[in-house]
Each structure stands twice: as C-alpha cells, then as structure tokens.
Chain A
C-alpha cells in the first residue's frame, strides 16, 4: 500500500526566512511519481511540481527547490526567502504506475509566514 507522511502539521516562520517542508513516502512500485500542491487560503489546489522516480535530479524554480532522495524515500520542499504570499497548506502526493493513477495525499503542512 502507498503512504505519504507529512509529519509537520503546522510551521510558522518570519518573512524572509528559509523553510523546508518534509515529505516521506512508501511504495512498493519501482516506477512512481511525486507531486507537490499548494492550497492557498482561497481553497484551490495549485500544482507546483512533478518528479519521476527515475529522475533524482533536484530542481529549483525561483525561490522554490525540491530535494528528492530515493535512499530515504523523501521529497522535501524548500522555500527560500519566504514571503507572506507563501502562506498556504502544502500537500505532497504519490502516484503509482498502474491502473487508475490515483494520487495518495499526505495530510498537508500548514505554512504561515509572519510579516
């Protein structure tokens, strides 16, 4: 069975600080996909990134970066120089390679950026 764990329920940091959101996953599949979504206070789910299991290269997009490590089954998300607009709930999700391509979500991390 697949499982995604986001152990940090809530995080608060002062604006301009860096913050890392942790994501640990479990799967028996050798091919899988990992995702991060952002849910701002307005409620919609915004896609941030997709990573394939066979591509362990880390990725940077502006102030966002992702560290994928298969050895520790982790896919952590770092925001550099945080801003108030980064305040949201962030979800990590896992998709296997078979059948319905269902996403298994973690329970989310609520990030609050204090001005």
Chain B
C-alpha cells in the first residue's frame, strides 16, 4: 500500500496562474481532507469530503475549489493563485468508523506563488 500520495511535490506559480493538486489514497477511506500549513499556525483545514461526489468547506476555503469524482482521489484547485497561497499543502484521509478515526497524511506539496 502506498497510503496517501500527493502530486506534485513542489511547484512555483506566478500570480494569477492556476493549478491542480492531486491527492490519491489506496486505503479505501471515505473521508478526505486538504490542509495548509503555514509557519507558526499549525495546519488549517481548507476543504474536505465525506464521500465520493461530496465536498464541503473547512476553515480557510477562499481561493480554492475541490472535487471528489472518484473515492480514491481528491483534487485541490487554485483558479488564480495569489502570494498568500504560498504554503505547504497536505492531504489526509480517514475511515469513519469508531476506533479508526486517525487521519493519515500524504507527504505534502510545497507551493510558492511569486
């Protein structure tokens, strides 16, 4: 099992450009999440999904969109990148059963917006 994988690992964008971050998991997890990590602020939830075809906003959703067309994939889109979106992005997944609440994280994507 690869667990949670993220593509790409690193990306540089110019202000106004768009891009999509891909998250894939092979653990058959129902729930998937996108977080961003900024210095001194811990991780903050951007969007999440509780199942295929469903998405919802988290704590800091502005400027991002997501899609969950397949259970194993969760895409995070930036339509018009801004320097404030320079961050490290983490995807996570979990299974919604008692005793299996742990979220498992991908390796992260480092994004620099110039």
Residues of A near any B CB (own CB < 8 A): 4, 33, 35, 37, 43-45, 47, 50, 91, 93, 95, 100-103, 105-108
Residue of B nearest to A106 (CB): B42
For the complex with contacts A45-B90, A91-B42, A103-B92, 10 further pairs of A-B residues with Cβ separation under 8 Å are A43-B107, A44-B105, A100-B31, A100-B56, A101-B31, A102-B48, A105-B42, A105-B43, A107-B41, A107-B42
Interface residues on B, range: 20 to 34
Q: Given the complex of chains A and B, what is the CA–CA distance between A96 and B39 in angstroms?
A: 25
User: For the complex, is B102 an interface residue (Cβ under 8 Å from A)?
Assistant: yes
The verdict on A44 contacting B101 (CB below 8 Å), with A102-B48, A107-B42 known, is: no
Residue of A nearest to B31 (CB): A101
User: For the complex, is B104 an interface residue (Cβ under 8 Å from A)?
Assistant: yes
A sample of 19 cross-chain residue pairs with beta-carbon separation below 8 angstroms, ordered by A number, consists of A33-B101, A35-B103, A44-B106, A44-B108, A45-B90, A45-B108, A47-B103, A47-B104, A47-B105, A50-B101, A91-B42, A91-B43, A100-B50, A101-B103, A102-B45, A102-B48, A102-B58, A102-B59, A107-B40
User: For the complex, is B94 an interface residue (Cβ under 8 Å from A)?
Assistant: yes
Taking a contact as CB atoms under 8 Å apart, the answer to whether B42 and A108 are in contact is yes
Return chain A residues, CB-CB under 8 Å to B101: 33, 50, 95, 101
The verdict on A44 contacting B102 (CB below 8 Å), with A101-B31, A103-B45 known, is: no
Return chain A residues, CB-CB under 8 Å to B90: 45
User: For the complex, is B8 an interface residue (Cβ under 8 Å from A)?
Assistant: no
Residue of B nearest to A105 (CB): B42
User: For the complex, is B96 an interface residue (Cβ under 8 Å from A)?
Assistant: yes
- Among B31, B43, B106, find the residue whose CB has the most chain A CB atoms closer than 10 A: B43
Residue of A nearest to B100 (CB): A50
User: For the complex, is B112 an interface residue (Cβ under 8 Å from A)?
Assistant: no
Which residues of chain B in 79-114 are interfacial with respect to chain A, using CB atoms and an 8 Å cutoff? 88, 90, 92, 94, 96, 101-108, 110
A55 to chain B minimum Cβ distance, whole angstroms, is 11
Q: Mark B24-41, 1 if CB is under 8 A from A, else 0.
A: 000000010100000011
Return chain A residues, CB-CB under 8 Å to B96: 101
